[in-house]
Structure 1
Amino acid sequence: MARRNPPASSPDLIGNDPASDALRPLAERMRPRTVDEMVGQRRLLAPGSALRRAIESGRVHSMILWGPPGCGKTTLALLLAHYADAEFRAISAVLSGLPEVRVVLAEAAQRFAEGRRTVLFVDEVHRFNKAQQDAFLPHIERGTILFVGATTENPSFELNSALLSRCRVHVMEALSVDDIALALQAALDDTERGLGGQELQVSDDALRQIAGAADGDVRRGLTLLEIAAELANGESGEVTEATLVQVLADRTRRFDKGGEQFYDQISALHKSVRSSNPDAALYWLARMLDGGCDPSYLARRLTRMATEDIGLADPRAQTMALEAWDTFERLGSPEGELALAQLTIYLASAAKSNAAYVAFNAARRDVREHGTQDVPLHLRNAPTKLMKQLGYGKGYQYDHDAEGGIALDQSGFPDAMGERVYYQPVERGLEIKLKEKLDRLREARASARKRPGKA
C-alpha cells in the first residue's frame, strides 16, 4: 500500500501556525506532526501494523483510544484527520451536553453532503451517559463522522455495547522514561517550535529526572521542562539541581480513586498478599496511600484478605486486622498508616488457606439448590408437650454424654440431603491440626453410619 503524505493544509491542527506558536505551551507546540514523530506506542504504531497502515493511507475507521493521560490519544486523533485530509472537530464529555453534540453532528452531516469527511474526537467519552453515547450511532453507521473516543477507563465497563460494536478499541500504553526523555530532547533541539534557540544547558541526568517525574505523561514532562527553562533563563541558562528541586517539588503520581487504576492496584495488593510476597504487597499499599486512597478502605480490604485468604490457617490474622483498623481510626494519618503496613507484612507472611471461604460457598450453593429442607426431628427443639408428641427432639443424643464427647452416628443434615463435606483444611498453619482431627472424626462417623441398623 502506498504511503500517503500528510497534507499541508489546516496548520492549526498540528500546531504549524507560526503566528500563534509563541502563545502556545511547549507541549502544544511540540505535538507530533507525523506518525514518525510520535514517541512510544511501538506495538500499536509499529511499521506495517494495521493501524499505522490505515492512518498513512488515509483510510481510517471509527475507534476508541483507551490509555492513561498524556500517552498521545489527542495527538493520534489529530493525525488521523491530518493524513485523511478530514475536518477535525473535538468535544469534551466533561464540558459538552447533547445540544452541543447535535450541533457538531449537524455540521458534520452538512460537510459530508459536500463531500468532506469529519473526524470527531470525543475526549473523556466514558463520561457521556447511554443516551448521549447513542446519539453518535447513526452518524457512525452512515459514515457521516469518523468517531474517535478517548478514555482513561476500561471501555468494557464505561461504554455501551452498541457504541463498542461500531468502533475498534485500541489500547495505548503509558510512556516509559526513555520515551519521554526522547520527547524532551526533541524539544530542546527544535529551534522552530521548541527550546532550541534558548541555548539551555540540560544534562542527561536532569533530563531523565524530569522524564521520571512526568510519570508516563509526555505532556506533563514537556510542561515541567518548560518551567525549568523559564527558571534557568532567569539565572545562568543551566538547569541545575537547585532548578530541579523547585520544578519537581510537588511531583505526584497518577492515581484514579474510582477508576481502572484504582481497581488494578487494589487487585495487585490483594494478589501480592495471597502470594506471600510482603515486599510487593507493601509497595502496592504505599502506592495507594501515596495516591490518596482512603486508608479506611484499605483497612477493610486487608481485613477481608485475613478472612478470605488466611482464614483458619492463622486465626490471629483476623484479630490483628481488626486491631490495625482500630489503631488507624484512633491515630489517623500518617501515624496510623504504619499499623496498616505492619498488618500487610503479617498477612503476606502468614500461612494461607481459603478452605473456610470455599466451604461456605459450597454450603450456600447447596442451600440454593436444595431449597427449604425440613430440619430432622431429632435436631428440633421441643419446648411444648405437643411438640414432644409429634416427635420433636426424639432420638437426639446429647454429645457430652456420648463416649468421647461426640455422638458419631448422629447426622446434622436434612434427611433428603444426607451428609456433606464442605470444609477441607489445608496442610498449612493451624489447619494442619484441624485436618488431623476432622479426618479422624469423619472416618469415625462414616464407620458408625455403616453399622447395622444405621442408614
Structure 2
Amino acid sequence: MPPNFHADTPLAQRMRPASLAAIIGQEHLLATGAPLRRLVEQGHLPSIILHGEAGIGKTTIAMLLADAVNRPFHALSALNTGVKQLREVLDSKDSLAFESPVVFIDEIHRFNKAQQDALLGAVESGDITLIGATTENPSFSVNNALLSRCQVYRLEPLTPEQISAVLQRALLEDHVLKKLTIDLQAQDTISKLAHGDARKALNLLELAIQTADTRQSPLIIDDALVARVAQTALVRYDKDGEQHYDIISAMIKSVRGSDPDAALYWMARMLVGGEPADFIARRLVILASEDIGNANPNALLLADAALRSVQSIGMPEARIILGQVVVYLATSAKSNSTYKAINAAMALAEKDASPVPLHLRNGVTKLMRNQGYGQGYAYPHDYPNHYYPQSYLPENLAGTSFYEFADNQREQHSKQFMAWLKSQAASND
C-alpha cells in the first residue's frame, strides 16, 4: 500500500464541492436560471427547507448558499440540539450586523413542536435565515407555522451517471487518490449500490481501495471486491432492467399464490441486489388492494404502514418490516373482486356519461328545488337498519352490477348482510 494512501479525513469529506458550480446533480435548482441559482445571483437568500434523501448534498448546498451571499453560517443538528442551545445561537446575532446569519438545522423533522416554535420569531423578524434539511416530507414533519415561512425545495437522488461522475472526479482530483494507479472496473456496480447517495458511493470506493490487493498495479476495483466490502451479494440486473422486472413479478406472483417462502426468497434477492426498500413496499401496497382487497381489509392497512415505516427507517432494519408484511400478505385470504369491479366501472364510464338522476342532486337553491333537484330522495338513516331501497344509478343503467362478492369468509359475510338488509326492507313495506 502506498505510504500516503490513508488520510485523516474521509474521501467523502475531502470531495465536498467548494462552490455551487462544482456540485454534481440538482440542476433543477442550481443550473443557470434555476431557482436557487437566481436567488444567490441576486444576493438574496430566504429561509428554505431542503427535502431529499441522505447523501445528495443538502448540507453542502446549505453551506455554499450561505457562502455565495456572504453570510455567517451556523450548523446545528436536530439530533443533539435542545431549545436552550437553539436559543443561544438565535440570541448570539450581532445587532449591528447588516445581514442575518444562516442557521442550518440538519434533520429538522426531528425537532419537536417547542423547538420548531422557537425558530418562528427569529425567522419571522429576519434575524436569521433558516435552512432546514429533512429526509421526510416537510408537509408532515414540519409544523405549518414554520413551513409557511419557508420555501421548500426537493432535492433528487443522483442518477447512476452522476454518481459515476462523482467517482471519476474523486480519482482525478482527490490529492490522495490521484497519486495511485486505480482500475475502477466496478464503477457501475458502486453507482447502483449507492442508490443516488454520493457519500455512500465515495465511502464504498474508499473502502474498496483500502481493501484492494496491494501487490497489484494498478489496484483492481472489481465487482467481487466491492461485494466483499459492501457485505452484500450483487444481483446483476441487465442493462434494460429485464431481471429487475422479472424478480418483482416473481415476488408478486408468489404472494398472490399464497407461497410465503417463495415470496421471501424473491424479496431477499431484490434486497441483496440493492433494490430500494420503498420500491418493494409500494408494490406490496398495490398488491394488498388488488389481490387481497376486502377478503382481508387489514392487509392494505398493514402494507401502507409498512411503506411509511420503511421510508422513515431505511435499510437494513427495513428488511424486518418487509419480511413481516410479505408473509402476512402471502398467508392472507385472497380476492380480486374489487379490482375487477373498478375496472368494469371505469370501462363503462368511458362509454357512458348519463346525467345524475334528479333525486340524487343537491337542491341548494329554490330554483333547483323547483326544477326537481333532490325530490324523491329517501335519507337512509331515517329508515330501519339505515337502509332504503332506491335507485342510485342513471335510469338507463338500472340493475347494472360491477361488484360480485368473492367466495371468501369476509365478502360472503357482507353478501349475507346485504341480502338481510334487502329482505328486512321488503318485509317493512
Which letter does structure 1 place at the counterpart of 2:202? Answer: L
2:382 alignment partner, one of 345, 363, 373: 373
Picking from 267, 273, 278, the partner of 1:286 is: 267
- Please give the residue correspondences for 1:80-159 in structure 2 after superposition, counting only pairs within 5 Å: 80-107=65-92, 109-110=93-94, 112-159=95-142
Q: Distance in 2 between matches of 1:135 and 1:208?
A: 45
Alpha-carbon separation, structure 2, partners of 1:166 and 1:44: 19
Q: Which amino acid aligns with 2:382?
A: Q
* CA-based RMSD: 4.9
Residue range with higher mean Cα deviation, 243-252 or 143-152? 243-252
- Structure 1 residue aligned with 2:203: 223
Q: What is aligned with 1:65?
A: 50
- SS of alignment partner, residue 121 of structure 1: strand
Residues 1:352 and 2:352 aligned together: no
Counting only pairs closer than 5 Å after superposition, residues 198-209 of structure 1 correspond to structure 2 as 198-203=180-185, 206-209=186-189
Q: Does 1:163 align with 2:155?
A: no
Query: CA deviation digits over 1:182-203, x for unaligned, max 9?
Result: 00100000143x5112222223
Indicate how the Cα distance of structure 1 residues 174 and 347 shifts in structure 2: closer, same or farther if over 3 A, else same: farther
Distance 1:45 1:125 in 2: 22
* Inter-partner Cα distance in structure 2 for 1:343 and 1:292: 22
The residue correspondences of 1:7-406 to structure 2 (distance < 5 A) are 22-107=7-92, 109-110=93-94, 112-192=95-175, 195-203=177-185, 206-232=186-212, 234-236=214-216, 237-250=219-232, 286=267, 290=271, 305-306=290-291, 308=293, 340=329, 352-354=340-342, 370=379, 372-375=381-384
Count of residues in correspondence between the two structures: 321
Structure 1: stretches of 5+ with no match in the other structure: 1-20, 254-267, 277-281, 312-316, 326-331, 358-368, 376-411, 432-444, 450-454
Contact 1:64 1:148 in 2 (8 A): yes
Partner deviation per Cα, 1:1-45 (whole Å, 9 max, x = no partner): xxxxxxxxxxxxxxxxxxxx9421110110011112111112121
How far does the alpha carbon of each residue in 1:363-391 deviate from its partner, in whole angstroms, 9 at most, with x for none? xxxxxx9485253xxxxxxxxxxxxxxxx
Using the aligned pairs only, state the percent identity. Answer: 33
Distance 1:81 1:116 in 2: 11
How far does residue 229 in structure 1 lie from its aligned partner after superposition? 1.4
TM-score (normalizing by structure 2) = 0.61
Post-superposition offset of 1:115: 3.4
The alpha-carbon deviation at position 77 of structure 1 amounts to 0.2
Aligned position for 1:426: 402
1:297 CA drift (Å): 12
* Structure 1 counterpart SS, 2:220: coil
Paired AA for residue 124 in structure 1 = E
Q: Report the Cα offset of residue 147 of structure 1.
A: 0.4
Q: Distance in 1 between matches of 2:49 and 2:155?
A: 10
Query: Match of 2:102, SS?
Result: strand
| Cα shift readout 1:132-160 (whole Å, capped 9, x = no counterpart) | 11111111122221100001111111111
Distance 1:335 1:124 in 2: 28
Aligned-pair CA distance for 1:355: 9.8
